[in-house]
């Protein structure tokens, strides 16, 4: 949001395919992030070609690193009970042995 995305647009990220708020560049970045995140999916040559139409090599590397970091955080934070700290609404659940990380 520091770069200008409004809260309404952020709320529409889960429905980016149907939303009219996202540019073609944003849509291909979201599709890439989704494919990277879903286990068993692979980035196709076709998708990578569409990425290259909007991003240069350094930007693709940066986007890939950002998505990979968020995927790492999601795998790291959940078992330790690390919560969102108010950025998004997350239902709290028990961590290992019913305890939360502090």
List pLDDT tens digits, range 28-39. 999 999 999 998
pLDDT for 93 equals: 45
Query: Does the pLDDT of residue 86 top 90, yes or no?
Result: no
CA 28, CA 8: separation in Å to the nearest integer? 20
Give pLDDT tens digits for 40-83: 999 999 999 999 999 999 999 999 999 999 999 888 888 888 87
CA 64, CA 67: separation in Å to the nearest integer? 5
Q: Domains in the chain and their CATH numbers?
A: 7-98 (1.20.1290.10)
CA 28, CA 35: separation in Å to the nearest integer? 10
């Amino acid at each position: 949001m520091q770069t200008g995305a409004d809260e309404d647009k952020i709320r529409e990220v889960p429905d980016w395919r149907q939303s009219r708020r996202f540019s073609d560049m944003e849509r291909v970045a979201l599709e890439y992030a989704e494919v990277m995140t879903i286990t068993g999916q692979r980035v196709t040559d076709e998708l990578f070609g569409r990425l290259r139409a909007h991003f240069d090599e350094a930007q693709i590397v940066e986007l890939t690193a950002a998505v990979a970091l968020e995927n790492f955080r999601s795998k790291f934070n959940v078992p330790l009970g690390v919560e969102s700290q108010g950025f998004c609404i997350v239902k709290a659940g028990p961590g290992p042995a019913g305890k939360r990380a502090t």
